[in-house]
Amino acid sequence: METDEPGLYGLGCATFTQRCQAVKTLIDEHLKPLVVGREASEIQELWNLMYQNAYWRNGPVINNAVAGIDIALWDIKGKMASMPVYQLLGGKCREALTLYRYANGGSREEILDKAQRLWEEGFHHIRLQYMPMNGYPQMQREWKPDGAKDGFYQDPHAYMRETVGLFEHAREKMGFEPEFIHDVHERISISDGICLAKELEPMKLYFLEDLFSPEQVQAYGELKKMVSTPQAYGELCTHPLEWREAVASRSIDYIRIHMSMVGGMTPTVKCAHFCELYDVKTAWHGPTDMNPVGFTAQMHLGLASPNFGIQEWPDYGENIFKVFNGMPEMREGYAYVNERPGFGVEFDEKAAEKFPYRKEVIGWTQFRVTDGSLHRP
Ligand code: MG
Give pLDDT tens digits for 283-316.
Answer: 999 999 999 999 999 999 999 999 999 999 998 9
pLDDT computed for residue 348 by the predictor = 97
How many A from CA of 7 to the centre of ligand 1? 37
Protein residues near ligand 1, an ion, with CB under 5 A? 183, 235
How many A from CA of 139 to the centre of ligand 1? 23
CB neighbour list of residue 138: distance below 8 Å, 6 or more residues apart: 106
Dmax over Cα atoms in the chain, in whole Å? 64
How many A from CA of 141 to the centre of ligand 1? 28
How many A from CA of 29 to the centre of ligand 1? 32
How many A from CA of 288 to the centre of ligand 1? 11
How many A from CA of 183 to the centre of ligand 1? 5
Flag whether 282 is in a domain: yes
- For residue 97, the cross-strand partners are 335
d(C-alpha 134, C-alpha 125), whole Å: 18
d(C-alpha 342, C-alpha 73), whole Å: 9
Q: Mean pLDDT lowest for which of 101-110, 129-138, 224-233, 345-354?
A: 129-138
Flag whether 156 is in a domain: yes
- For residue 311, the cross-strand partners are 99
How many A from CA of 40 to the centre of ligand 1? 34
d(C-alpha 360, C-alpha 72), whole Å: 28
Q: At what angle do helices 190-200 and 156-174 cross, to 10 degrees?
A: 10
Q: Is pLDDT at 139 greater than 70 in this prediction?
A: no
Within 175-312, residue ranges assigned H as helices are 190-200, 219-224, 244-248, 265-276, 292-303
pLDDT computed for residue 91 by the predictor = 98
Q: Is pLDDT at 135 greater than 70 in this prediction?
A: no
How many A from CA of 155 to the centre of ligand 1? 19
Flag whether 307 is in a domain: yes
d(C-alpha 353, C-alpha 94), whole Å: 37
How many A from CA of 301 to the centre of ligand 1? 19
Flag whether 326 is in a domain: yes
CATH label of the domain that carries residue 190: 3.20.20.120
Confidence class for position 94, pLDDT limits 50, 70, 90: very high
Confidence class for position 132, pLDDT limits 50, 70, 90: low
How many A from CA of 200 to the centre of ligand 1? 17
Query: Residue 331 burial by CB count (10 A; 0-12/13-18/19+): exposed, middle or buried?
Result: exposed
Domain extent for 299: 87-341
How many A from CA of 289 to the centre of ligand 1? 12
Q: How many domains does the chain have?
A: 1
The pLDDT of 101-123, averaged and rounded, is 95
Q: At what angle do helices 60-81 and 43-52 cross, to 10 degrees?
A: 170
Flag whether 21 is in a domain: no
How many A from CA of 299 to the centre of ligand 1? 17
pLDDT computed for residue 140 by the predictor = 53
Q: Output the CA–CA distances (angstroms, integers) from residue 55 to 36, 48, 83, in the order listed.
A: 20, 11, 35
How many A from CA of 15 to the centre of ligand 1? 16
d(C-alpha 11, C-alpha 294), whole Å: 9
CB neighbour list of residue 369: distance below 8 Å, 6 or more residues apart: 153, 154, 155, 156, 375
